[in-house]
Amino acid sequence: MKASISEKRGRRSIRETAIERILFLAGITATISVALITIFIFGSGIPALLDSGFVNFLVGTNWSPANGSYGTLPLTAGTMAVTLTALVLGIPTGIACAVFLSEILHRKAARVFKFAIELLAGIPSVVYGFFGLIVVVPAVRTYILPLVRLWDPDAHTTGLSILSGAIILAVMILPTIVSLSENAISSVPAEYREASLALGANKRQTITGVLIPAARSGILASIILGMGRAIGETMAILLITGNVAVLPKSLLDPVATLTGTIAMEMSYASASHQQALFAVGIILFIIIMLLNAVAQGVSKRMGVNQ
Amino acid sequence: MIKNRLFYSVVWFLSILTLAVLLMIIGYIMYRGLTQISWEFLSEKPALMGKKGGIFPVIIGTLYVTGVALVIAAPIGIAAAVYFVEYSKEGRLVRIIRTFTEVLAGIPSIIIGLFGFAFFVVFLGFGWSVLSGGLSVSLMILPILIRSTEEALKTVPLSYREGSLSLGASKWETTYKIVLPCCKNGILTGLILSIGRVVGETAVIMLTVGGALKVPMSLFDSTRTMALHMYILAAEGISQERAFATAALLVLIILVINGLANIISARIGGAHGK
């Protein structure tokens, strides 16, 4: 009897150990995937970087794969132009929505508003792109262009432009900015609010003078993550910005972005062109990793502050 | 006073504007698209590259890719979450593993697409196929599944585990028979959100599934998902009407998915409260 129980225990402990090993394997799958992604993106792209010369590849202004010339500055500039314009539109709107949600709306209404913001995050990017193509692009051409012409008579645009892309991107990064900023604002300790009100500040002064400054790390992290989202966005941009790999001079110029170029050209690229696109992927990868690391650092600091 | 009024006006204006933009996007897509959706549209083969006819193969392709991705990612994601919450002890290795799970969530879809192309399509030789696409997309939903399962596991009271262990159940028996069943809703929410992610994904699909406009017969066939089909219709100017119809279908699916996820997580909140 005793022997069989200990035997049973032995078998059971073997099974338990095996299960733990399997669970551990599942646990490291994501890590292994990140490693593989890094290896394959860098491995496939580095030959192109070496071919063109690292500096040439980064700051060359001529992207014309047909001639074997791979200068990515126009692409980086395109990505940055669209992203920064989107942030200019998205940051104030996002923070306003966050304040609205956490400080102004009543609980029930806030829940509805939150659901709406979540929906905004759920809409596929290709649908945003299509909406931009059908609605925003013509709107920029017919309504914004005449306004710009008032002081610059030579202005011209097809509507496929930085501005159109940025408008749609601003909407797309709103959910990120709103939900994280709202978290940050509502996790400011109640004493701050009470102290400010007790000192005679009104609600508006409390929000702008106490709550937003106290939540600034969280808000900053949300902005950085939103920026990462904007830089990585592909399908929406692809349909709206016109995909012309030239350094832009105005917000109404078309641009090609890092992501859009990869998506567009991958399907027909020759071998060396493909390598160059992987090298573009490396640039993108590094930018996103840096931004994520900064966002992590910022929100960690927030944890210490509170 | 003026400052106050200005502040509140700006906040109200921008918030209402956001809501209006959301309603406008959904409303406009629905208005232009829903009228185009008919039984024929859903059940017939496309003709002339999608200019005429329906999107039946595209719907099947979407289901197929989504199914493959879930079959791969769901067990791994749930198991990983169980490892993190129930088994792992705080330590350097575990911290690193968790950080990299976060990192995976932050990688943009076009990079996942490039990787899927280099690794699954070319290196492993799966070609442009449902399998390559499903594997690539499973990388995108893995962090979602891990996170939602983790959240659910954390809400299970410690006393459940202690009770089970003190009755002589082993750790795995406790996890499998006591803890995991309590997490059904949380896991379900993760699965539903993952479906939404896969259905809406385009860039990865474009680089790994190809874009053949036909019903996939095996894992190694190329096909198209609704999002990719819609992109091709719009980008190549094949048919705006059909693009709107497909977009409306996509938005409808997303509405249902978000609604479901909300209902389920509200139920979790209720269960948690008692």
A46 and A106 assigned to the same domain:
no
B9 in contact with A, Cβ within 8 Å: no
Average pLDDT over residues A214-219: 92
Report percent pLDDT > 70 for chain A.
96
A143 and A31 assigned to the same domain:
no
pLDDT at B273: 39
A213 and A136 assigned to the same domain:
yes
Structural domain includes residue A38 = yes
A284 in contact with B, Cβ within 8 Å: yes
Average pLDDT over residues A69-80: 94
Structural domain includes residue B193 = yes
**Angle separating helix axes A2-52 and B56-82, nearest 10 degrees:** 120
A36 and A184 assigned to the same domain:
no
> In CATH, what number is assigned to the domain containing residue A88?
1.10.3720.10
Regions in chain B scoring below 70 on pLDDT:
268-274
Structural domain includes residue A67 = no
User: Which tops the pLDDT comparison, B49 or A36?
Assistant: A36
A242 and A112 assigned to the same domain:
yes
Residues of A in contact with B239 (CB under 8 A): none
Structural domain includes residue A41 = yes
Structural domain includes residue A189 = yes
Place of tokens 């930085």: A162
pLDDT band at A305 (very low <50, low <70, confident <90, very high): very low
A112 and A51 assigned to the same domain:
no
Average pLDDT taken over every residue of chain A: 91
pLDDT band at A9 (very low <50, low <70, confident <90, very high): confident
> In CATH, what number is assigned to the domain containing residue B259?
1.10.3720.10
Quote the number of domains for chain B.
1
Asked whether the predicted pLDDT for residue A304 surpasses 50, the reply is: no
Q: Which of B129, B189, B77, B111 is nearest to A287 (CA)?
A: B111
- Exposure string over B154-164, b if 16+ CB within 10 A, otherwise e: eebeeeebeeb
Give the tokens for residue A133: 């193509």
Residues of A in contact with B222 (CB under 8 A): none
User: pLDDT per residue over A274-287, tens digit each?
Assistant: 999 999 999 999 99
CA quadruple B45, B50, B54, B60: dihedral, nearest 10: 70
Out of B26, B79, B106, the one facing A23 most closely (by C-beta) is B79
Structural domain includes residue B20 = no
CB contact under 8 A, B202 and A93: no
Which of A12, A29, A55 is the last residue in one of the domains? Answer: A55
A32 and A92 assigned to the same domain:
no
Residues of B in contact with A179 (CB under 8 A): none
Structural domain includes residue B228 = yes
A190 and A278 assigned to the same domain:
yes
Asked whether the predicted pLDDT for residue A3 surpasses 80, the reply is: no
- C-alpha to C-alpha distance for A261 and A281, rounded to whole angstroms: 10
Quote the number of domains for chain A.
2
Residues ≥6 apart with Cβ < 8 Å to A261? A63, A75, A243, A245, A277, A280
pLDDT at A45: 94
Residues of A in contact with B3 (CB under 8 A): 204
Task: Specify the range with the lowest mean pLDDT, choosing from A21-25, A68-72, A259-263, A300-304.
Answer: A300-304
- C-alpha to C-alpha distance for A11 and A85, rounded to whole angstroms: 63
A37 and A80 assigned to the same domain:
no
A245 and A108 assigned to the same domain:
yes
Residues ≥6 apart with Cβ < 8 Å to A291? A224, A225, A227, A228, A231
Residues ≥6 apart with Cβ < 8 Å to A281? A41, A45, A262, B110, B111, B114
Average pLDDT over residues A204-224: 93
Expressed as residue numbers, the domain containing A44 is 2-55
Structural domain includes residue B136 = yes
Structural domain includes residue B207 = yes
**Type of residue at B38:** S
Expressed as residue numbers, the domain containing B257 is 37-273
A233 and A282 assigned to the same domain:
yes
Structural domain includes residue B189 = yes
Q: Which of A115, A87, A88 is nearest to A233 (CA)?
A: A87
Asked whether the predicted pLDDT for residue A255 surpasses 60, the reply is: yes
Structural domain includes residue A61 = no
A29 and A89 assigned to the same domain:
no
pLDDT at B132: 97
Q: Which of residues 61-120 of B touch A (CB under 8 A)?
A: 75-77, 79-80, 82-84, 87-88, 96-97, 100-104, 106-115, 117-119
